[in-house]
Structure 1
Amino acid sequence: MLLLSPPRSALDRRRFLTGAAGMAAVLGATACGGTDDPAPAGGATRTIEGAFGPVEVPVAPQRVVSTDFYTPWALLDVGYTVVGTVQANVGGVLPEYRPAYEAMTRIGTPAEVDLEALAALQPDLVLGTLVPDLPVDLHDRLSAVAPTLLFEAAREPGTWQERAVRAADVIGRGADAEALRAEYEQQAADLGVRYADVLGRTRFALVRGGAQGNALVDLPASWSGVVLEAVGARLGSVAEGRPGVFEPLSFEELGRLEDCDVVLHLVDTTGEVDDNTQRLLDQPTFQALPAARGGRVFPLPNYYVSHYRQAQAVLDRLDTVLAGL
């Protein structure tokens, strides 16, 4: 279960009140896109560069449909609800966003979009990400329904910050996203100052189980790796300063994590451990690690960070862990 620290500072109180107000707006959003912004006169548009070149998009889109399961959360962060989206794993959805997600119409999966369901929503903009293995003609088929802006796939998952701000900017809420970015960065900086002594003497590992019966040690540019980096947390020698997303280790190689004082492992947002990660945690070589013997192995909900409110949930979890070290 995700443990949230109570608001302590004036910044924390502002974030708590802002988040509560934002969620009230999200849950009260109408089916026309969850925005009270008036439609621009004369159908005004602006040009935004996408993966397939420039796209003319509405200045204030009212009915947005998303073909990925990243964009909806970034837009909920700024109080905007898409009318439709693809099927997501509920265990990856921030718990307070689940009611809003359940109210969205499903339009299939990123690779198999139901164009009939999409068209029935009468979108004025389709937003998505050009992830691998999409049908080569998907952009053309989507564009036949409504203006379609697909972002290039991120080279590294830790670049979720830029994607979140860009998605908000497309719907005219870039300033809100920038304010949220600043709030997140300030919270991270505050944690870094408050726990400077602990961070100076502690090394962390981010781990999950691999499908090949191995361990995946996530690197600084990973989903949560960038959040730890923002706080000033140091990763163990297996990961520190390494490019890429993860380093695979066989179970026999887990001794390479011996210099990690704390291990944070994957769980979903409900606190459930997947089978691969549980297999890793049960290994004698994992149980022999100093962090495991010392009771410093902690589940990390929201491990796969994709938007700012989720990153702030990771910061809250880190606050709880650091306070106990």
Structure 2
Amino acid sequence: MASRQRRGAAVAAAFVSAALVLTGCGNGDGDDKADNPASTTRTVKADNGTIQVPADPQRVVTIGNTGLPFVDMGGKPVGVTKVRDSELGLLPADQRATFEKATNLGDEVDLEKLAGLKPDLILVQIPDAEFKEIETKLGSVAPTVFWGLDTEWKALADGLAAAGNVTEALGRQKAEYDGHITKVKQQYSAVVASTKFVNVDRYASSDPGTFVIADIGCVEIAQDDLGLNFPKAADGADPLAYTALPFEQLAGLAKYDVITYPVDAAGKPTTTFAPVVETNTWKALPAATSGRAIGVFCPGNNSYGAVNRYLDSLDRALASLPAGK
């Protein structure tokens, strides 16, 4: 999943009647303090300011990009906006069950349906302009905490954990993440220092006979946090992943020492990428003939749990590399 390709949540056009306003459930900056004593509430900071939220929220609704990360940290939302089936298919079984148990608010945010869930907290990450259209209405239903699409995934995890009271789970995930990073840097220090990598991919929307050199998604973790040498776009330029390349240009990958490509949880090339590995050009690449074309599973790069699964797969892939160049 591309971290620079964030999805938004559209807004239902229907007007929300005054009956949807729930007493004592504002954003914490009005006259509702008597209904929310300090002993049962706390404040969190987000892109929409300092918000007073329940100390232990029980009925959380997630909108936009907040759903999967919140569930990843053990959250159990009562309402979610729709995500693609391909994303749900990458979740562990227990997380998928939790997500599917929540009321699906659809591609559009049906505010009347949302209010009927009687949430005590709403978590949102959508485009700023879309949030502005519904900010007041959401705030009349329950305390609403918003992050814009520019919020980096680690900062979003911190914010979600603080607002949704899942900081203990986040702490465990961060410790696991730190362990992965330390192990890879230490165990594969020579590989990190001397190897020219390239990450290739295909999308479901790719034209037949094309692939991309991908510098977005999980590979950003390998680049930024591990220091692996992958090609990436110049500052200010569009990602390399936005340019489709014909299969004929697969031969140009011969200049790289190691090729990484997408596989599913079972370690097989993804259905979308399979046409690439079936070409004679791919099979003839030095990396492919020497065991240096390695598949890596990327279940997502927007939460610690998903990134930890990616790092575990990358660790095993690096361990499979033959000695020497």
TM-score normalised by structure 2 residue count: 0.71
Residue 88 of structure 1 aligns with which residue? 83
**Are residues 1:259 and 2:259 paired?**
no
> Hey, what's the Cα distance between the residues in 1 that align with 2:72 and 2:170?
8
Bigger mean CA deviation after superposition, 264-273 or 222-231 = 264-273
Residue 317 of structure 1 aligns with which residue? 313
Superposed CA RMSD in Å reads 3.2
Deviations 1:19-75 (A, max 9, x none): xxxxxxxxxxxxxxxxxxxxx86774444344444433223222111012x433333
Residue 14 of structure 1 aligns with which residue? none
- Letter of the aligned partner of 1:76 in structure 2? V
Residue 270 of structure 2 aligns with which residue? 273
Residue 121 of structure 1 aligns with which residue? 117
Residue 55 of structure 2 aligns with which residue? 59
Residue 230 of structure 1 aligns with which residue? 225
> Hey, what's the Cα distance between the residues in 1 that align with 2:309 and 2:119?
31
Residue 172 of structure 1 aligns with which residue? 165
Alignment of 1:104-183 (within 5 A): 104-109=102-107, 112-131=108-127, 134=130, 137-154=133-150, 159-174=152-167, 176-183=169-176
**What is the aligned length?**
276
Bigger mean CA deviation after superposition, 257-266 or 118-127 = 257-266
Deviations 1:201-241 (A, max 9, x none): 4332222225353433232x643321454334322xx3388
> Hey, what's the Cα distance between the residues in 2 that align with 1:298 and 1:197?
18
Residue 72 of structure 1 aligns with which residue? 67
Q: Specify the SS of the correspondent of 1:82.
A: coil
Asked if the contact 1:160/1:223 (under 8 Å) is kept, the reply is: no
> Hey, what's the Cα distance between the residues in 2 that align with 1:152 and 1:105?
24
Deviations 1:266-300 (A, max 9, x none): 3455767254x344444555444322333433433
- Structure 1 pair 234/108, CA: closer, same or farther in 2 (3 Å)? same
Residue 196 of structure 2 aligns with which residue? 203
TM-score normalised by structure 1 residue count: 0.71
Asked if the contact 2:153/2:303 (under 8 Å) is kept, the reply is: yes
> Hey, what's the Cα distance between the residues in 1 that align with 2:129 and 2:291?
42
Residue 8 of structure 1 aligns with which residue? none
> Hey, what's the Cα distance between the residues in 2 that align with 1:41 and 1:115?
27
> Hey, what's the Cα distance between the residues in 2 that align with 1:192 and 1:284?
34
- Structure 1 pair 136/268, CA: closer, same or farther in 2 (3 Å)? farther
Residue 4 of structure 1 aligns with which residue? none
Residue 186 of structure 1 aligns with which residue? 179
Q: 1:239 aligns with which of 229, 232, 255?
A: 232
Asked if the contact 1:51/1:130 (under 8 Å) is kept, the reply is: no
Deviation at 1:126, TM superposition (A): 0.8
Unaligned runs of 5+ in 1: 1-39
> Hey, what's the Cα distance between the residues in 2 that align with 1:268 and 1:57?
39
Residue 27 of structure 2 aligns with which residue? none
Residue 100 of structure 2 aligns with which residue? 102
Q: Specify the SS of the correspondent of 1:108.
A: coil
> Hey, what's the Cα distance between the residues in 1 that align with 2:146 and 2:269?
32
Asked if the contact 2:269/2:295 (under 8 Å) is kept, the reply is: no
> Hey, what's the Cα distance between the residues in 2 that align with 1:121 and 1:308?
28
- Structure 1 pair 166/42, CA: closer, same or farther in 2 (3 Å)? closer
